[in-house]
Amino acid sequence: MIVNEFIPKPYQHLLDRGIAAYSAPSNIALVKYWGKKAHQIPANPSISFTLNNCKTTTVLKYEKKTSEGFSFDVFLEGVIQEDFKPKIEQFFSRIEIYLPFLSAYHFVIETSNTFPHSSGIASSASGMSALALCLMQIEQQLNPTISKEFFNKKASFLARLGSGSACRSIEGNLIVWGAHANIKGSSDLVGVKYPYEVHQNFKNYHDTILLVDKGEKQVSSTVGHNLMHNHPFAEQRFEQAHSNMDALILVLKSGDLNTFISIVEREALTLHAMMMSSDPYFILMKPNTLQIINKLWEFRAKTGLHICFTLDAGANVHVLFPESEAKQIQEFIKTELAVHCQNGHFIEDMLGQGAQPIKI
């Protein structure tokens, strides 16, 4: 599948060398993407909060080369990472048609995360979006006339080809990816800003990430997505995502936090239910994930506060809550939930405005 809109005209001249730098945030899905078709097309629409503190910063240096093919070295926190190479090589080969300069340069990719590596927080969304944005910055250096709007759109398009959910990490703070009948401008190819009214209740919404298990995931999301092919509940699940998006449109407008909670928690548990009912089946939650969920539910029943959880493809728990209730809930997290985290670690995050270029 080739999308002509993103194929550039031949460059007038290639710079000999240069540098690009961007920082891009992670995101947390409210309605989950789980299952994909060829060419990184999602099986259903999803919507996410862009985060503020969990970020990847990437500095990309490039220099003209004469050899054939792709050439790059990649460093994480200053340490060379041979095991990142296959994923980046695959990413480059998917996007070369859209960025023909890729084989003209040797690249040095220097990347670092604000969250600890192996914290179990998916760094692929922030990592792939930061890299896509650096590559777009190079394209802009070669063709300074491209607009900000096109820059972001193509960055999202490229990031999706690296890691699906990365296309939701370019802008803030509520992003839709995947065509939905009732969301104007929504697309399977790029993440777009949620285009409708959002109630004050969602302003500065918090996400505290409880680090339950910092180890490597036993099952990659690529494998998980593929298990949705021939999954006995796949079609119902994809339909459910469409109707949960409809329900969320109403909630985002009205500010109805109780309905928000029921949509978000059902989405999280459905994601894991899909994993638990695939063939082969698997479980990514850990005993502490369930401890936290049960304590959170008890606390919510007792206090009436609007605390809820969501989960990624892992054991960590994202605790979501409105700004107006932040003090009491943060106290509860520190005193009651942190004990279930590995080494007591958690990360306080909240809604963010998207990626930023870095001056170097």
Residues of the shown chain interacting with ligand PMV in the complex, contacts defined by CB under 6 A: 29, 32-34, 46, 122, 124, 163-165, 221, 225, 271, 312-313
The token duo for 324 is 């107006």
Q: CB under 8 Å to 56, separation ≥6 — which residues?
A: 23, 24, 26, 111, 112, 113, 114, 123, 126, 127, 129, 130
Instruction: Find the DSSP H helices in the chain.
Output: 85-95, 124-142, 148-162, 221-226, 234-254, 257-276, 287-303, 326-332
Shortest Cβ distance from residue 56 to ligand PMV (Å)? 14
Closest CA to 169 of 355, 360, 33, 357: 355
Closest CA to 212 of 118, 310, 289: 289
Q: Is the CB of 271 or the CB of 337 nearer to ligand PMV?
A: 271
Q: Is the CB of 101 or the CB of 169 nearer to ligand PMV?
A: 169
Q: Is the CB of 105 or the CB of 177 nearer to ligand PMV?
A: 177
Shortest Cβ distance from residue 166 to ligand PMV (Å)? 6
Q: Is the CB of 268 or the CB of 292 nearer to ligand PMV?
A: 268
* Angle formed by the axes of helices 257-276 and 234-254, nearest 10°: 160
Shortest Cβ distance from residue 195 to ligand PMV (Å)? 19
Strands 71-76 and 105-113: parallel
Shortest Cβ distance from residue 185 to ligand PMV (Å)? 19
Q: CB under 8 Å to 278, separation ≥6 — which residues?
A: 224, 227, 228, 231
Q: Is the CB of 21 or the CB of 234 nearer to ligand PMV?
A: 234
Shortest Cβ distance from residue 138 to ligand PMV (Å)? 24
Q: Is the CB of 58 or the CB of 163 nearer to ligand PMV?
A: 163
Q: Is the CB of 58 or the CB of 165 nearer to ligand PMV?
A: 165
- How far apart CA 321 and CA 330 sit, in angstroms, is 9
| The dihedral sign for the CA sequence 127, 289, 51, 238 | positive
CB contact at 8 A, 275 and 221: no
Shortest Cβ distance from residue 238 to ligand PMV (Å)? 13
CB contact at 8 A, 275 and 219: yes
Shortest Cβ distance from residue 36 to ligand PMV (Å)? 7
Q: Is the CB of 247 or the CB of 358 nearer to ligand PMV?
A: 247
Shortest Cβ distance from residue 214 to ligand PMV (Å)? 17
- How far apart CA 138 and CA 26 sit, in angstroms, is 22
The token duo for 27 is 């995101």
